Structure 1
Amino acid sequence: MQGMNMRRAVMATLTGVALSFSAYASDLEINQFRARGPAGGNDEFVELINAGSTALDVSGYQLNGSNASGTVGTRLTLPAGTSIAPGCHLLLTNKSSGGYSGSVAGDLTYSTGVTDTGGLAILDASGTIVDQVGLSSGSAYQEGTPLTSLGSTNGDQSYIRSTNAAGLPNDSGDNSADFVLLSPSAPQNSASPCVALGASMSIADASATVRGAADVAMPFTITLSKPAPAGTGITVHVATADDTASASAGDYDALNTDLTVAPGQSSTSFNVTVHGSTVGKTDRAFHITLSNPSGGYTLARDSAIGAILYDIPVDAEIWQIQGREQTSPLLGKTVLTHGNIVTAVGPAGFTMQTPDARADADPLTSNGVYVFTGSAPSVAIGDVVDVDAVVDNYYHLTELKNPVVNIFSHNAELPKAVRFDAGTPSSDPQHLSCGATNFQCFISMRVKVSHGMINTGNKRFSGEPFAEVSITASGKRSLREPGVVYGVPVPDGVSLPNWDGNPEVFKMNTADFGAVPLNTPFNAGSTFAAEGVISYDFGAYTLIPTKFHLKQAVELPRAVDKAPPVALRVGALNTERFCDTTFDTTYTCSGGSKEPSDAEVQRKTQRLAAYIGSVLRLPDVVSVEEVKNLALLQGLAKQLGDDYHASYDAYLMEGHDPSGIDVGFLVRTDRVKVLSVRQLAADETWDDNGQTAYIHDHPPLLLTAQAGLMRFQVIAVHTKARQNVDKTGSSADRDRAKRFEQARSIASQVQALQQASPLTPLMVVGDFNAYQFSDGFVDMVGLISGRYKDSENLLKLGGPNIVHPALWNAVESVPYNDRYSFQFTQNFGEIQGYTRAGSGNSGRSVPTFQVLDHALLNWPARLRFMRMQYGRGNLDAPAQTLDDAASATDATKAIGASDHDGFVVELLDPSIVIGRRHRVH
């Protein structure tokens, strides 16, 4: 990394040197090109030349293009094994429609053109620009004064470099001085004659780093294209000249002398003395010019840049290194930091922290930093160390690279750990713990978590099946809470706040510092205590424990409690696209590119049976959603009979979903007598942007049944998804309107049933695709239950609630941490202290647990209510466990059977036992 920083510094220095002096960064050059030819704008080629004396391996090099606005893109990456011999060419041509029309075949092709006023660049395999040329001042690629565009008229002309006395292309660092117009163009490829390299010499750029008062030798090398002849060898005059560096000011010692290349040798070296410094300076440069070579040698490259890089170590405390932002104010500098305490040791580095007595008083800066050693460090927790290192930024984690570590003592008392709890980190995005962020001021510092909650099962990375987990320090799950989603403006006329987005959620990598063995699985809902340090990687702040204690490990699958025999048990489960093998709908039932195979259908059936049987414990009635047809549901009923000796009848009626999924019921025949099953509002329509369409894709299904002496009713629902609700535009408006109409339709059906049978227990269950509170747009649960508030919703009911008396949501009886049936990973972008961390990462993603599956009870049902429980097996497992469970042969096959967790509601009905006795006798 230090070498990379040096190269970047050299490039920056060379850019600032006067362009009247040659600046050769590589032997590879763009020799000839055109951005438009006789066949049009795609009739392009780029000709490269190796102007050096040895073969060039250009594997992985890139041809990039720019437009006149500075937007760049890669046109071609040269394949492995590509090389160019000395003086030889490589021709790159555009193969797209209307592309290269020349008679000399291209060696390699690309398919995206370059604009007439754009630019070209060749980059090496590490992404460093080797050569570039521009056709306008707006091009991102150019050297000195750009060339004049050849315009938009088709014609056979190109730009080609002029040559020097040695026959080599000129490269002064100024496009307008180096290139001339050639008409007609004359591209050359790898089979074309190579340039005859005459006897010539060149000098290469050099740099030296000053790190203190001592003088430093900056080595330069002069290279001959052919060995010096026998006898006297070759002489050449060498002279330095000031640029931003000055010999008279004491930056370096001037040189003005003749040098000799010994007979038979191809190079010679010499040094320029650069004077040391004890104070920091901006990087500076001088140049060297060759002249008067002997022996008939020409000057292929007669000038070089000497870059003086000042890297004077800065004495700094850790908090000065960290600063208040993610990027260190001392980035790229060498620092000396003294007397800090090692707090954690990992396989490739360690963290250290300022002793409490020296800690700064600023709560917005961190007193800890990570020291990257690249291999196992020779320090131990409690060591007191001095570190001399370079400040670097690794994906927004400030760290010290290339360290020199001196240990002065052992077993020091560790700095006091910051206590993470219900108040820290903050749960209020308007008052974050670290000002603009929630964790940056704790980075690499010791923290202690006494009441931690594992929020999700392990993610899975390549080679690491059980990796990081999401956690909170408050002991609470990251649940969806009331309000409009964070980052979305609250609509006019809505009296709700924004939900906070759970900024207190962070990650934990338990194995990084050896607190637990690598690939240890954790189920969500488990609690823990830990000590460790805060780190940052790839878009998220992370706890890396040095001590870890699993306080309570939850098991999966985790069944609902056994019910007393006097309970009528009504459950609900979204089966997550329970499909057959036939594609006979508008869209695939599976939601993918094809329907499942026979074996996959059978496996899904067995896993759903395991969930209903082992996790929900065979409810008397199960509302099921996302089932394609009655035959599948009958197959599930048979599977339950085979595996659990429970007799179920299946009920399903086809709806209007274009992928074929419907709602249905499974009813236990030994405990419940079905009186009727019918669809509600199946034929209701609405004006869908000028077209008449069905309101319900999955019409509600009404079950009227009797258990013992009690008659009861259950409505199974599956309303429209929230896919676009939090967005803007016509699709969002349409989805909100349809959800509103669906909820109003179901509410009307509920009210009609209540009026017809006011004493009959009624439950509305299933996947509502809505929360137990308003999202600020349409509170579907509130509308269906008779608790809708216009003041909390964008869409207004405009009158009294339809349902009266109101239904009660049994979710309110569920313990707070258990109020979830679905997980949605919410991406909040660059907010709350999480910053974009490289390509493909769009910011902070938070796993949000939400209730989408509800049970609404009328008063007769509520009077009999005993409890509501969610069975756990789908949402809390590690990613690897979900995959492994698919092939399990025991009850663990239930894990991952769906993307929802189902529930069971129990109603008191002593007559069930009486009824069973009567039937027995």
Structure 2
Amino acid sequence: MFAKLAQRGLWLLLAGVASTFAAQAADVSIDQFRVRGPAGGNDEFVELFNAGPAAIDLSAYKFNASNASGSIGTRLTFPAGTQLASGCHLLLTNSASSGYSGSVPGDLTYATGVTDTGGLALLDADGNIVDQVGLSTGSAYKAGTPLASLGSSNTDQGYQRRQTAAGLPQNTGDNSADFVTVSPTQPHNSTSPCVAMGPSLSIADSSISVHGAGDVAMPFTITMNQAAPSGGTSVHVATANGSATAGVEYEALDTTLTIAAGETQASFNVVVHGRTTPADDKSFSVTLSDPGDGVALGDATATGTIHYDIPVQAEIWQINGSGQRAALLGKSVLTYGNVVTAVGPLGFTMQTPDARADASPLTSNGVYVFTNSIPTVHVGDAVDVAARVDDYYGLTELKNATVNVVDRHVRLPRAVVFDRRTPSPDPDHLSCGATNFQCFMSMRVRIDHGMINTGNKRFSSEPYAEVSITANGRRSLRQPGVVFGVPVPAGVDLPNWSGNPEVFKMNTADFGAVPLNTPFNAGSTFHAEGVISYDFGAYTFIPTQFRLAYAAPMPRPVSPTPLLALRIGAFNMERFCDSVFDTTYTCSGGSKEPTPDAVALKTRRLSSYVGSVLQLPDVLSAEEVETLPILQGLATQILADYGVAYDAYLLPGHDPSGINVGFLVRRDRVQVLSVQQLAAGETWDDDGHTAFIHDHPPLLLTAQAGHTRFQVISVHMKARSNVDDDTADAERDREKRFLQAKSLASQVQALQQADPRMPLLVVGDFNAYQFTDGWTDVVNLVAGRYDDNQNLLKLGHNIVQPALWNAVNTVPPNDRYSFLYTQNFGEIQGYTRAGSGNPGRTVPTFQVLDHALLNVPARLRFLDMQFGRADLDAPAQTVDDAASASDWTRAIGVSDHDGFVVDLFVPLIHRRLH
């Protein structure tokens, strides 16, 4: 966050540019544009036009765009030497994939598009907005009433600027009045015929702020598009009432002005009367008429806007109001006798004393005061503040503040206690109405049972930045139900999963509670006090006091194998590939295969995981392994590192990227009797094509430990990918997963019937939860516990009897996860797309995708199930550093799954010492 604060000057500049623009009759304007065309969303162009009498140097000008949430970005910086001649056009086109398809070639290109509901702007070399157009009210770029979005239909339609009677581009400062739709579009470029520009006069809008009783002058400028002729030229100017009344808010003007020979501008003032009480903003108009001979009128009417900025005395809760935007946003305020609760590098938070706090639970009694330098106040100071209310990307703050300390060592307001009820875990009954945190903004908060859910992310130059937390002592786990925000399908008796609205962020160093770049491992618990803030689109806790209650180690291995126990494990090794590209797609999942050195490094890291994190299981199901030689190479590495000999088994399947399932089996403890694929040749009708059901056919190991014969099936089912979507691809994927589970269930049942007394385990990456997602309950279909009432795809009756039992259910609830998925819910519950890479509410969601299903004989021998922790809970920087570690910590981050082990009682097994 310190890095974010250091970059704040840039954000403020951009925000200021976006908010202070006043419509003006600029010579260069956006004349025509489309943000979607026949080829799709990137089939775009922006046409510029120079209505002035002379060429304009566009060097270092910028074409910027905004989305519907106000996030802005530069699409093109014009190269040096770019000129736009008088009466001529310049065409900017999108060169991205499926980009501009028009026949008129572009003069300059850009590669990132404009959203259908966004906005676009032309900025000069100093960053000032020259022209802007919006397609939604949320766009940072717009003038007056924005245009309506033309939707997502891939047709040739766009917007073109109207012309005035003088043949000039109309720019009244209101997009809806200045543009009309065109279909088809007719773009022009620099080689298109130019238009001879005759002399014309235009007037620009103006505004002024009234701060008190004194009168102020509102300046207006009349501009001629070429120098006035010999003898000059004249024009009549007259004001007219709008919401402002002449003689009350301003003094009327009715006069004739002259632009001197050789000049292009004339200025005049309208007197605006002051006042001492707050009022709504008012406006009036100024109209040009009767220009000199041979001179046309361009933009003949301007709006004069009076902003009344009379300081308002208010409590903090009155400043904030109950919405996400401050009730007194943009106003100057005076607020007295509030208590400083936290001090940061560029500002401080203050809160209403308890005796004056409002009774509403929906309004916050805290606010952030932005000082732009190290504050001189201290926690416990009582202060009077005069400032302007501003919104910094969702954070209400007081800017341009004058701060006066009126008392010291004042009792701090009571802290809000965050616990298992607050913030609310129920999305239908959030703590702050429409949000879960807005009513606590900048207020003191105490967390007694905090849980760190993720290791630190990185931010800019900070290797150890924010973490995800909860205040209820629970991990952010995926819970039963259809994913939040997706309608429960008809015929499914199941609620929605909540989406874990109680999860939020923590930046520990912002107010100095812990040193900058302090690493935290997920699973750690803490006690803290601090304040709630809003950080680039997401609610964030910033502690002022912080103490770790439990520092989770990393790695966290499973316990050693007990005496008289057989250990069976499973581990998705995340594309353990060789360096040869000999498959339909790369095995790596990237643009090329790993180098031999990278393969050797991953082999060493996997050896550390198997040997030290999983503690050398007797049988290990290995998923996402390309070839038998690569798995044999891992066995060789384990022998070198740990002195334990493993035999490797793998049979190729049908995955186009070449990943398969296999086994590593300890030679000293287990005798392998057979290894065979199950249902490898089964097919299905995949949209008119015959295709294999199993990309990675299940692999059956039959083996013996001591006098106990047992079987293990290694599985790797189809990924969930898009199964929660409402698309044809999602329907296809759900059907394939259903058929895979049915096929495997039939194989399991056949094995049970063949020998009901033999222990059987089905282990590996099911790519499914221990409960249904509402579409297909893959795990419980294989286990024989499928419930048609809770699934869209109906089974009819369970195949496996007696049912298998999922050992995952014995693992402590906070430890039931093997995969981390960041669930993106978009702009909901107060979260916004406030910056690049921030998609709104994103929730790190821990889920079990890797399971161990046991039949009755195996369950009777069951001792324990444990997940080894080295991949999901580490900070991002720790993962990067671990690759070069010289000890077993190199295992950290070797995969995107955590592996597990299951211990079974087998009396004639004895562990050898190594």
**Which TM bucket (shorter chain)?**
0.7 to 0.9
Match of 2:379 in 1: 381
Match of 1:321 among 296, 303, 319: 319
Q: Which residue is 2:728 aligned to? A: 730
Check 1:664–1:433 CA distance in 2 against 1; reply closer, same or farther (3 A cut): same
Q: Is the 8 A contact 2:573 2:624 kept in 1?
A: yes
> CA contact under 8 A between 1:627 and 1:662: conserved in structure 2?
yes
Q: C-alpha displacement at 1:298, in angstroms?
A: 13
Is contact 2:244-2:282 (8 Å) kept?
no
Match among 869, 886, 890 for residue 889 of structure 1: 886
Which whole-Å CA distance do the structure 2 matches of 1:251 and 1:607 have between them? 76
Secondary structure of the residue aligned to 1:312 is: coil
If the length of structure 1 is used for normalisation, what is the TM-score? 0.81
Worse-matched range after superposition: 514-523 or 328-337:
328-337
1:730 counterpart letter in structure 2: A
Instruction: Give me the whole-angstrom Cα distance separating, in 1, the residues matched to 2:787 and 2:33.
Output: 69
- Higher mean C-alpha displacement, 2-11 vs 828-837: 2-11
- Over residues 501-550 of structure 1, what are the superposed CA-to-partner deviations in whole Å (9 max), with x where a residue is unaligned? 11111111111111112221111001111111111223321101111111
* Structure 1 equivalent of residue 802 of structure 2: 805
Give the alignment's TM-score, normalised by structure 2.
Answer: 0.81
State the Cα distance separating 1:766 from its structure 2 match. 0.9
- Tell me which moved more, 450-459 or 434-443: 434-443
Residue pairs, 1:842-921, within 5 angstroms: 842-913=839-910
- More off after superposition, 242-251 vs 804-813: 242-251
Question: In structure 2, what residue type is equivalent to 1:725?
Answer: V
Kept in 2: contact 1:63–1:122 (CA 8 A): yes
CA contact (8 A) 2:765 2:850 kept: yes
Residue in structure 1 matched with residue 740 of structure 2 by the alignment: 742
Q: Name the SS of the counterpart of 1:854 in structure 2.
A: strand
Count of matched residue pairs? 852
- Which of residues 523, 547, 550 is equivalent to 2:548? 550
Distance 1:767 1:64, change over 3 A: closer
Distance 1:273 1:6, change over 3 A: farther
Distance change in 2, residues 1:127/1:771 (3 Å): farther
- Note if 1:215 corresponds to 2:212: no
1:314 CA drift (Å) = 2.1
Match of 2:61 in 1: 60
CA offsets 1:309-357 (integer angstroms, 9 cap, x no match):
2212222222122222212232222222222111111112221111111
Confirm or deny: 8 A CA contact 1:133 1:141 kept in the other structure.
yes
The equivalent residue for 2:157 is none
Structure 2 unaligned blocks of 5 or more: 1-11, 35-42, 67-71, 94-99, 136-141, 147-160, 180-186
Mapping for residues 404-803 of structure 1, pairs under 5 Å = 404-799=402-797, 801-803=798-800
1:432-465, Cα deviation, whole Å (9 max, x unpaired): 1112221111111111001100001111122222
Letter in 2 for 1:872: R
Task: Indicate if the aligned counterparts of 1:50 and 1:56 stay in contact, CA closer than 8 A.
Answer: no
**Counterparts in 2 of 1:236 and 1:654: CA distance versus 1, 3 Å:** closer
Equivalent in the alignment of 2:400 = 402
In structure 1, how many angstroms separate the alpha carbons of the residues matched to 2:847 and 2:134?
A: 55
Which residue pairs with 2:151 in the alignment? Answer: none
Give me the CA root mean square deviation: 4.8
Q: Specify the alignment match of 2:7 in structure 1.
A: none
C-alpha displacement of 1:10: 7.3
- Matched to 2:282, the amino acid is D
More displaced 10-residue stretch of structure 1: 686-695 or 616-625:
686-695
Q: Take 2:338 and 2:203, find their aligned partners in 1: how far apart are those partners? A: 46
2:283 corresponds in structure 1 to: 284
Aligned-residue identity in percent: 61
Distance, in Å, in 2 between the alignment partners of 1:647 and 1:303 is 88
Per-residue deviation, 1:841: 4.2
1:577, 1:627 within 8 Å by CA — same for their partners in 2?
Answer: yes
**Aligned counterparts, 1:11-90, within 5 A:** 11=22, 25-28=25-28, 47-50=49-52, 59-62=60-63, 77=76, 79-81=78-80
Indicate the residue corresponding to 2:139 in structure 1: none
Q: Tell me how far 1:299 sits from its aligned partner.
A: 12
Q: CA–CA distance in 2 between the matches of 1:874 and 1:315?
A: 54
Deviations 1:372-405 (A, max 9, x none): 2222222221222222222222222222222222
- Is the 8 Å Cα contact of residues 84 and 90 (structure 1) preserved in structure 2? no
Deviation at 1:195, TM superposition (A): 9.0
User: How many angstroms does 1:751 deviate by?
Assistant: 2.4
What letter is aligned with 2:335? Answer: T
Partner Cα separation in structure 2 for residue 415 and residue 651 of structure 1: 65
Check conservation: 1:589, 1:628, Cα contact below 8 A.
yes
Cα distance in structure 1, aligned partners of 2:389 and 2:440: 18
Letter of the 2:342 counterpart: A
Deviations 1:572-627 (A, max 9, x none): 10111111122222222112222211111111111111110110111111110111
CA distance in 1, matches of 2:605, 2:811: 26
In 1, Cα distance between equivalents of 2:909 and 2:203: 99
Letter in 2 for 1:276: G
Q: CA deviation at 1:710?
A: 2.1
Q: Aligned equivalents of 1:868 and 1:795: distance in 2?
A: 31
Q: Once the 2 structures are TM-superposed, how far is the Cα of residue 702 of structure 1 from its aligned partner?
A: 1.6
Aligned to 1:338: 336
Distance of 1:680 and 1:897 partners within structure 2:
29
Change in Cα spacing, 1:797 to 1:883, as seen in structure 2 (3 Å) is: same
Give the distance between the partners of 1:899 and 1:712, measured in 2 at CA: 29
Give the distance between the partners of 1:694 and 1:539, measured in 2 at CA.
Answer: 45
Q: In 2 relative to 1, CA 203–591 (structure 1 residues): closer, same or farther, beyond 3 Å?
A: closer
Change (3 A) 1:384 1:132: closer
Task: Give the aligned partner of residue 154 of structure 2.
Answer: none
Inter-CA distance 226–632: structure 2 relative to 1 (3 Å threshold): closer
Distance 1:715 1:187 in 2: 65
Q: Equivalent residue for 2:155?
A: none
Q: Partners in 2 of 1:234 and 1:622 — Cα distance?
A: 93
Residue 149 of structure 1 corresponds to which residue in structure 2? none
Deviation track 1:472-496 (CA, whole Å, cap 9, x = no partner) reads 0011101111222222222333322
Deviates more, 1:242-251 or 1:446-455: 242-251
d(CA) in 2 for partners of 1:388, 1:364: 24
8 Å CA contact 1:706, 1:712 repeated in 2: yes
Deviates more, 1:340-349 or 1:371-380: 371-380
Native 8 Å contact 2:25 2:203 kept in 1: no
Residues 163-213 of structure 1 show CA distances to partners (whole Å, capped at 9, x for unaligned) of 89xxx99989999999xxxxxx9999999999999xx99987654311122
Tell me, what secondary structure is at the counterpart of 2:845?
strand
CA shift, 1:744, in A, is 2.3
Give the letter for the 2:818 counterpart.
S
| Counterpart code for 2:395 | L
Residue 305 of structure 1 deviates from its aligned partner by 6.2
Q: For residues 298 and 435 of structure 1, do their structure 2 counterparts lie closer, same or farther at Cα, with a shift above 3 Å needed?
A: closer
8 Å Cα contact 2:238-2:255 kept in structure 1: no
Q: Distance in 1 between matches of 2:33 and 2:872?
A: 58
The residue matched to 1:912 in structure 2 has which SS?
A: coil
Equivalent AA in structure 2 for residue 60 of structure 1? Y
SS at match of 2:909: helix
Name whichever of 514-523 and 233-242 sits farther off.
Answer: 233-242
Structure 1 stretch displaced more, 25-34 or 640-649 = 25-34
Q: Is contact 2:25–2:171 with CA below 8 Å preserved after alignment?
A: no
Cα separation, 1, equivalents of 2:888 and 2:641: 10
Range that drifts further, 347-356 or 755-764: 755-764
Q: Secondary structure at 1:705's aligned position in 2?
A: strand
Change (3 A) 1:75 1:141: farther
Q: In 2, Cα distance between the equivalents of 1:98 and 1:239?
A: 44
